[in-house]
Amino acid sequence: MASLSVLGRAAEVPRRRGRFASGGIYWLFLAPASLLLAAFYFYPLLGVLWISITEPKPGLGNYALLWSSPAVQHVFATTARICALTTAITILLGYAVAYALVHLSPRGQRWMFLGVLLPLWISVLARAFAWVTLLRSEGLINEALLSLGLIHEPLHLMWNVLGITIGMVHYMLPYAILPLYANMRGIDARLVAAARGLGATRLQAFLRVFLPLSLPGIVGAGILVFIFSLGFFVTPAILGGNRILMIAQYISIQILEVLRWGLGAMMATVLMAIVLALIALLARLVDLRRLFGAG
């Protein structure tokens, strides 16, 4: 999965203009990466598309399942619901962090950034494991509550939507905070000061000046988090168990356990199509070249 700490940094790159007469030999520099990606990345991806329309028999039979199979529809609905929930909570919490970040002293900012970036790079499995330690029925949270006498039987904190959402929000937060912060940093603080000077209360100045200006950041970060959530495998699989299946886990079961390649490939193709459509939408709303640091 992508890392915005890299992407975010790349966004600061100024666009370099200027052409050179001879690019000739430098095209060769592009050859190793291009060939490797063509043969071992894009070719297998096209293979997935191919499988989805040829197995078990040629045609669009697999895609018809989108309309006829309640199981498939259920997976899509579950995934959409959990991703929407995750995105909403993540953006809300991420907004608070980004807002605090732009208003902190440089020293406080450094510490807060550390707190945001460190989890981003810590092993996703280590993080999911930490949540299992906390949330399972014999976990630390339940033990603490039981020994304090606040509850009499363990709460169900994982293997349900709650557990998946907690784990996913925890994973996605840095991906929301960084673009939100990048957007807020570009908002001219004098506009808020002017609104205050003209008699707006703090709340009015925030709601009518700052919030609308931060809307592109909210939309961009929201789409990004939603995209990453859609294809997320590890955390939902661990914290959801086998009871709540999101699309990525469902695909892996189709391929590795019940060997329905056609169905799995169809779902993967649809997932990819949705992600690409959302990226196209994102590109219309924010400057992707800046987000991904095209020199």
Partner 1 sequence: MERLSSGMALTKSLGWAVVMFLVLPITVVVPVSLTDQRFLSLPRAHLSLQYYVRLFTSEAWLSAIGQSFVIAVAATTLALVAGTLAAIGCWRISSRASGVLRMLMLAPLIVPTIVYALGIYRLWITLGMLDSYTGVILAHGVTAIPYVVITVSTSLANFDPRLEQAARNLGATVGQTLGRVILPNILPGIVSGAIFAFIHSWDELVMVLFITSRNIFTLPRRIWDGINENIDPTMAAVAVVLILLTVVLLALESALRGRRGA
Residues of span 81-120 touching partner 1 by CB under 8 A? 93-94, 96-97, 99-101, 103-104, 112, 115-119
How far is Cα 280 from Cα 295, in angstroms, rounded to an integer? 20
Size of the chain in residues: 295
Residue with tokens 């907004």: 95
Scan residues 225-244 and list those touching partner 1 (CB under 8 A).
227, 230-234, 238
With 0-12 / 13-18 / 19 or more C-beta atoms within 10 angstroms meaning exposed / middle / buried, residue 238 is buried
Alpha helices in the chain (DSSP H): 4-10, 26-29, 31-37, 43-54, 61-68, 70-103, 106-121, 124-135, 140-147, 161-185, 189-197, 202-205, 211-213, 215-230, 234-240, 247-256, 261-285, 288-291
How far is Cα 94 from Cα 104, in angstroms, rounded to an integer? 15
Q: How far is the CB of 64 from partner 1 (least distance, A)?
A: 20
Q: How far is the CB of 194 from partner 1 (least distance, A)?
A: 14
With 0-12 / 13-18 / 19 or more C-beta atoms within 10 angstroms meaning exposed / middle / buried, residue 102 is middle
Q: Are 194 and 274 in contact (CB under 8 A)?
A: no
Q: How far is the CB of 249 from partner 1 (least distance, A)?
A: 8
Q: Which one among 77, 279, 280, 285 touches partner 1, defined by CB under 8 A? A: 279
| Joined tokens for residue 124 | 């996703």
Binding mask 245-274 for partner 1 (x = CB under 8 A): --xx--xx--xx----x--xx--xx-xx--
Scan residues 15-74 and list those touching partner 1 (CB under 8 A).
16, 18-20, 23, 25-30, 32-34, 36-37, 40-48, 51
For residue 123, the number of C-alpha atoms closer than 13 Å in the C-beta half-sphere is 4
Cβ-based nearer residue to partner 1, 44 or 199: 44
Q: How far is the CB of 286 from partner 1 (least distance, A)?
A: 14
Cβ-based nearer residue to partner 1, 71 or 273: 273
* Residues contacting partner 1: total by CB under 8 A: 101
Q: Are 65 and 266 in contact (CB under 8 A)?
A: yes
Q: How far is the CB of 235 from partner 1 (least distance, A)?
A: 11
Cβ-based nearer residue to partner 1, 6 or 215: 6
Binding mask 115-154 for partner 1 (x = CB under 8 A): xxxxx-xxxxxxxxxxxxxx---xxx--x-----------
Q: How far is the CB of 224 from partner 1 (least distance, A)?
A: 10
Scan residues 168-227 and list those touching partner 1 (CB under 8 A).
170, 173-174, 202-203, 227
Q: Which one among 7, 157, 178, 182 touches partner 1, defined by CB under 8 A? A: 7
Cβ-based nearer residue to partner 1, 61 or 113: 113
Q: How far is the CB of 48 from partner 1 (least distance, A)?
A: 5
Question: N- to C-terminal Cα distance for the chain?
Answer: 22
